[in-house]
C-alpha cells in the first residue's frame, strides 16, 4: 500500500501575492508546503483546487474563484511534483470521485493533508478521507488556518476518529 499527499487550495486567491483580503495566512505558507512536498517525494502527490461554479449568485460574491481565472491557478512558487491536479466545488475533496478513483488505482491507504484552511477544506477533506477508509495525518506545520474556532472543533472530532494531528 502507499501514501498520498493531498495539497489543498494553494491557489492565487488564497495565498498568492494578490490574494483576497480575507485570507491572512502566514507569509511563509508556500515555503512550509514546499518543505512538506520535498519530504514526501515517495508519495503520490495530488494538488486540489477549490473552485466556484460560475453562476449569478457566485458572481456577486466578494471573493471569486472561477475555473480559467488567475485566482483559480495553483499559486506561483509552489513546488509541482506531479501532474495530478483535481478540482472540487465543495469543502471535502472526496466530493470529487476522480480523487477516490486515483487513490484506489494507486493502492493508497494513507493520506497526509496540507494546505488551507485548517478550519475548512483541510478538516472537511480529512473527515471525507476517514469516511472513505483512509488513515489520515494532518501535518500542521503546513496547514494555514484563519477559521480557528472551527479548526478546534473539527480537530477534536478528527482525533476521536483516529486522525493523526
CATH number for the domain formed by residue range(s) 2-160: 3.40.50.850
Considering only CA atoms, which of 151, 130, 134 is closest in space to residue 25? 151
Residue 138's φ and ψ, nearest 5 degrees, are -105, 120
Q: How far apart are CA 82 and CA 84, in angstroms?
A: 5
pLDDT tens for the chain, residues 1 to 165: 899 999 999 999 999 999 998 899 999 999 999 999 999 989 999 999 999 998 888 888 888 899 999 999 999 999 999 999 999 999 999 999 999 999 999 999 999 999 999 999 999 999 999 999 999 999 999 999 999 999 999 999 999 999 999
pLDDT at 61: 83
Domain ranges for the chain: 2-160
Q: For the purposes of burial, counting CB atoms within 10 Å of the CB of 29, is it exposed (0-12), middle (13-18) or buried (19 or more)?
A: buried
* E strand spans, the chain: 2-8, 44-50, 85-88, 108-116, 135-144
Cell 502507499 appears where?
2
pLDDT value, residue 145: 96
Single pTM value for the model: 0.95
Amino acid at each position: 500500500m502507499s501514501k498520498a499527499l493531498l495539497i489543498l487550495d494553494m491557489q492565487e486567491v488564497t495565498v498568492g501575492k494578490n490574494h483576497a483580503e480575507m485570507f491572512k495566512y502566514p507569509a511563509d505558507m508556500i515555503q512550509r508546503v514546499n518543505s512538506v512536498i520535498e519530504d514526501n517525494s515517495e508519495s503520490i502527490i495530488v494538488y486540489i483546487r477549490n473552485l466556484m461554479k460560475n453562476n449569478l449568485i457566485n458572481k456577486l460574491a466578494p471573493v471569486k474563484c472561477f475555473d480559467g481565472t488567475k485566482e483559480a491557478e495553483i499559486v506561483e512558487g509552489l513546488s509541482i511534483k506531479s501532474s495530478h491536479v483535481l478540482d472540487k466545488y465543495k469543502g471535502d475533496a472526496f466530493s470529487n470521485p476522480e480523487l477516490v478513483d486515483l487513490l484506489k488505482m494507486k493502492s493508497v491507504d494513507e493520506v497526509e493533508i496540507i494546505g488551507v484552511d485548517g478550519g475548512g477544506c483541510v478538516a472537511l477533506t480529512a473527515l471525507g478521507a476517514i469516511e472513505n477508509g483512509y488513515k489520515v495525518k494532518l501535518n500542521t506545520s503546513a496547514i494555514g488556518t484563519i477559521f480557528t474556532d472551527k479548526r478546534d472543533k473539527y480537530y477534536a472530532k478528527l482525533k476521536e476518529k483516529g486522525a493523526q494531528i
